[in-house]
């Protein structure tokens, strides 16, 4: 009987293994498919390479914003090759790490539960005192569309494998992955149309910032809000998408359709109902949100497999922290200790830090919103990036910083500052005593904090 069996070797599973091996070598890690993680192979990393190239192209084409007249000739034929070359560098680093592990600890194959102590992989049974389920998720798509469109219907699993940039693409969805990839494609010269079920882009929950983001992103990108294709057809050389807009039947032709309508968990591959028949309803799994423990069992589900926050750093952190719960069972600990932090690599970037506007409102917390626009902000003007706005949320009674939402250039950096400040439990008065260098984007944060303080 093993001490720990880890199912899934993505970011969460690898992190768990690296922590567990410090305390016991009586462990097993099982993985179905490649061992180079979703993040490195088809997630965070290749998407950021593509976005970075797209943003550089945009900056060259908009160099007039900083007083340059550039006559450029841009050749985009190597973009996809560049994405894969850099992506392969990241996946190689992960695989090098995994290759250095004891081969006896690793099994290739799909695990499924036989009972609460035992799993089956490739026809063999393995028992353990505890299990870590880190099986991640896979992109959603319409099966009927897939049948009709074949390899012209792609998801984030396939987009980075395209040999060349297509001429046109329709993106279904307006969440994080949809908006990041759609904007990058558009900026790289691919005629891109986004079909959005709702009137929402990305993650911002503040109505004011959401509105600003919709207007700003729609300047570059054709986003059809509250419109989804009614049907799709495969024609000789392209795909025809039919839809209704302003009560009129319309259609467009595109080379590819990118389905970016969320992801579904791999939990269904595990036969969890063999542990307890009530676990057949995966949406209602009795999983503690903080300890990630399944009912009262020594079984923990971490990473993207069952979470409201499918993020790489959360998956890695949960993998590390869960080992103590496995080895000290039944003493289990809280795995959700990090200040919430989510970033969208749109341009301008979006970020949500701490408690968001929507949650604070729903919980009836008395808070003040400090607002600052970046349209006339000094440093943003200097950079030619004077777009967007930010909000900070301050508790009316304790004067503590509760959260923030950003839609602004370099939000990724300011988001970290804000997350670290929230973790330190600082008040608005503490923050306004800190240095703010001139001229910086951080001065806009001070504007927002001062706006909040005036209301307190």
Cα separation, 13 vs 454, whole angstroms: 47
Among positions 17, 19, 43, 428, the unique one binding ligand FAD when judged by CB under 6 A? 43
DSSP 180-247: HHHHHHHHTT-EEEEEESSS--TT---HHHHHHHHHHHHHHSEEEET---SEEEE-SSSEEEEEEETT
Residue 133 is a binding residue for ligand FAD (CB under 6 A): no
DSSP state of 375: S
Cα separation, 454 vs 308, whole angstroms: 35
Nearer Cβ to ligand FAD (119/360):
119
Query: What is the CB neighbour count within 10 angstroms for residue 88?
Result: 15
Residue 303 is a binding residue for ligand FAD (CB under 6 A): yes
Q: Shortest CA distance to 186 belongs to which of 159, 162, 163, 168?
A: 168
Among positions 5, 188, 270, 352, the unique one binding ligand FAD when judged by CB under 6 A? 270
Residue 312 is a binding residue for ligand FAD (CB under 6 A): yes
Among positions 153, 232, 315, 419, the unique one binding ligand FAD when judged by CB under 6 A? 315
Cα separation, 38 vs 18, whole angstroms: 18
- Cβ neighbors of 92 (< 8 A, separation 6 or more) are none
Q: Which stretch binds ligand FAD (CB under 6 A): 207-215, 251-259, 265-273, 332-340?
A: 265-273
Residue 385 is a binding residue for ligand FAD (CB under 6 A): no
Pairing of strands 153-154, 137-139: unpaired
Cα separation, 77 vs 313, whole angstroms: 33
Nearer Cβ to ligand FAD (266/400):
266
The answer to whether 438 is a known catalytic residue is yes
Residue 202 is a binding residue for ligand FAD (CB under 6 A): no
Give the binding-site size for ligand FAD (rule: CB under 6 A). 36
Among positions 9, 179, 322, 408, the unique one binding ligand FAD when judged by CB under 6 A? 9
Q: Shortest CA distance to 369 belongs to which of 381, 385, 358?
A: 358
Among positions 311, 322, 431, 452, the unique one binding ligand FAD when judged by CB under 6 A? 311
180 assigned to a ligand binding site: yes
For the record, the structure tokens of 354 come out as: 């701490």
- Nearest approach in angstroms of CB 346 to ligand FAD is 11
DSSP state of 267: G
Block residue for tokens 């036969």: 271
Q: Which stretch binds ligand FAD (CB under 6 A): 36-44, 285-293, 347-355, 394-402?
A: 36-44
Of the listed 62, 413, 438, 451, which one is catalytic? 438
Q: Shortest CA distance to 233 belongs to which of 112, 144, 314?
A: 144
Residue 271 is a binding residue for ligand FAD (CB under 6 A): no
Cα separation, 104 vs 325, whole angstroms: 24
Q: Which residues pair with 231 in a beta bridge?
A: 242
Residue 349 is a binding residue for ligand FAD (CB under 6 A): no
Residue 422 contacts residue 402 (beta carbons within 8 Å): yes
* Interface with ligand FAD in residues 142-201 (CB under 6 A): 156, 177
Residue 19 is a binding residue for ligand FAD (CB under 6 A): no
Q: Which stretch binds ligand FAD (CB under 6 A): 43-51, 85-93, 96-104, 443-451?
A: 43-51
Residue 317 is a binding residue for ligand FAD (CB under 6 A): no
- Nearest approach in angstroms of CB 295 to ligand FAD is 20
Report whether the peptide linkage leading into residue 316 is cis, meaning its omega lies within 30 degrees of zero.
no
Catalytic positions, please?
Answer: 438
Residues near ligand FAD (CB under 6 A): 7-13, 30-33, 37-39, 42-44, 47, 110-111, 134-136, 156, 177, 266, 269-270, 303-305, 310-313, 315
Which residues define the annotated binding site for FAD?
48, 304
């Amino acid at each position: 009987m093993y001490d720990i069996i880890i199912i899934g070797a993505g970011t969460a599973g690898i992190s768990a293994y690296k922590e567990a091996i410090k305390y016991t070598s009586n462990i097993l890690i099982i993985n179905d498919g490649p061992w180079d993680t979703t993040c490195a192979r088809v997630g965070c990393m290749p998407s950021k390479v593509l976005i970075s190239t797209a943003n550089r192209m945009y900056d060259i084409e908009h160099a007039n914003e900083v007083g340059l007249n550039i006559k450029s000739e841009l050749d985009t034929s190597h973009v996809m090759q560049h994405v894969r070359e850099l992506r392969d560098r990241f996946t190689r680093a992960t695989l090098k790490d995994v290759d250095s592990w004891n081969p006896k600890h690793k099994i290739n194959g799909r695990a499924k539960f036989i009972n609460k102590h035992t799993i089956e992989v490739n026809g063999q049974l393995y028992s353990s005192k505890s299990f870590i389920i880190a099986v991640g998720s896979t992109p959603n798509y319409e099966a009927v569309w897939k049948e009709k469109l074949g390899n012209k219907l792609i998801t984030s699993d396939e987009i980075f494998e395209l040999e060349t940039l297509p001429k046109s693409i329709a993106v279904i969805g307006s969440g994080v992955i949809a908006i990041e990839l759609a904007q990058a494609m558009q900026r790289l010269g691919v005629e891109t149309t986004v079909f959005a079920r709702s009137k929402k882009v990305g993650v911002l929950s503040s109505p004011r910032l959401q509105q600003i983001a919709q207007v700003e992103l729609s300047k570059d990108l054709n986003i059809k809000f509250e419109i989804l294709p009614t049907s799709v057809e495969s024609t000789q050389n392209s795909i025809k998408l039919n839809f209704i807009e302003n009560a009129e039947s319309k259609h467009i032709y595109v080379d590819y359709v990118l389905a970016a309508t969320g992801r579904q968990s791999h939990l269904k591959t595990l036969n969890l109902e063999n542990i307890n028949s009530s676990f057949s309803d995966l949406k209602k799994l009795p999983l503690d949100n903080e300890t990630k423990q399944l009912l009262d069992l020594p079984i923990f589900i971490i990473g993207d497999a069952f979470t409201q926050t499918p993020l790489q750093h959360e998956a890695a952190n949960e993998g590390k922290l869960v080992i103590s719960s496995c080895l000290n069972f039944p003493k289990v600990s809280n795995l959700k200790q990090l200040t919430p932090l989510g970033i969208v690599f749109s341009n301008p970037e979006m970020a949500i830090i701490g408690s968001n506007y929507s949650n604070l409102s729903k919980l009836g917390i008395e808070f003040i919103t400090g607002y600052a626009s970046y349209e006339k902000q000094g440093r943003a003007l200097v950079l030619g990036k004077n777009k967007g706005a930010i909000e900070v949320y301050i508790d009316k009674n304790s004067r503590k910083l509760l959260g923030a939402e950003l839609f602004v250039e370099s939000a990724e950096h300011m988001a970290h500052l804000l997350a670290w400040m929230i973790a330190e439990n600082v008040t608005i008065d503490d923050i306004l005593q800190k240095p703010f260098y001139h001229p910086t984007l951080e001065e806009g944060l001070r504007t927002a904090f001062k706006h909040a303080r005036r209301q307190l």
